[in-house]
């Protein structure tokens, strides 16, 4: 059974996250290396746990994966895990970041609709976040 990169466990590390992400995106290590503009050897050694990623490499990986740098730093153990965020929220954020902007807007509109149906949605937040 394939665990996805947003489903975390205490012993999941950067290598595990990268493998899961590559599997989910159907990318090879060479694909990630090309997108991150780093050598395939660096990606291979990180995934094989032969070397630690530098902050610069982590930033390049985050950019290539279209993920927040902070999340990739958490995967690498350079930042503490966000204990206040539940797994569904982490999954939603991960999935939203995979979508093009127009589809993200549609997803947010649907989430707002669900929140409004619940009855206690704060309309001030919606007005503040509206985009032209």
- Provide the 8-state DSSP code for 119: S
The per-residue DSSP string of 18-47 comes to: HHHHHHHHT--HHHHHHHHTS-HHHHHHHH
- Residue 6, pLDDT score: 41
Global pTM reads 0.60
- Residue 96, pLDDT score: 83
User: What is the maximum alpha-carbon separation in the chain?
Assistant: 53
- Residue 125, pLDDT score: 47
Q: What is the pLDDT of residues 53-86, one digit of tens each?
A: 999 999 999 999 988 888 899 889 888 877 776 7
| Buried b / exposed e along 13-33 (16+ C-beta atoms within 10 A) | ebbbbbebbbeeeebebeebb
Q: Which of 52, 18, 50 is nearest to 35 (CA)?
A: 18
- Mean pLDDT (the chain) is 81
Banded pLDDT at 99 (limits 50, 70, 90): confident
Is 78 within 8 Å of 58 (Cβ atoms)?
A: yes
Sign of CA dihedral 110, 116, 121, 126: positive
95 pLDDT exceeds 60? Answer: yes
Q: Which residue has the higher pLDDT, 80 or 128?
A: 80
**How many residues are given for the chain?**
132
């Amino acid at each position: 059974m394939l665990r996805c990169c947003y489903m975390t466990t205490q012993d999941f590390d950067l290598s595990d996250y990268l493998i899961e992400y590559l599997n989910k995106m159907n990318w090879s290590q060479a694909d990630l290396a090309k997108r991150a503009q780093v050598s395939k050897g660096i990606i291979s050694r990180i995934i094989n746990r032969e070397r630690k990623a530098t902050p610069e490499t982590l930033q390049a990986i985050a950019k290539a994966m279209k993920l927040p740098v902070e999340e990739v730093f958490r995967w690498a153990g350079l930042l503490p895990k966000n204990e206040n965020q539940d797994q569904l929220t982490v999954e939603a954020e991960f999935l939203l970041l995979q979508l093009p902007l127009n589809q993200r807007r549609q997803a947010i509109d649907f989430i707002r609709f669900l929140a409004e149906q619940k009855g206690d949605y704060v309309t001030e937040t919606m007005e503040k976040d509206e985009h032209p």
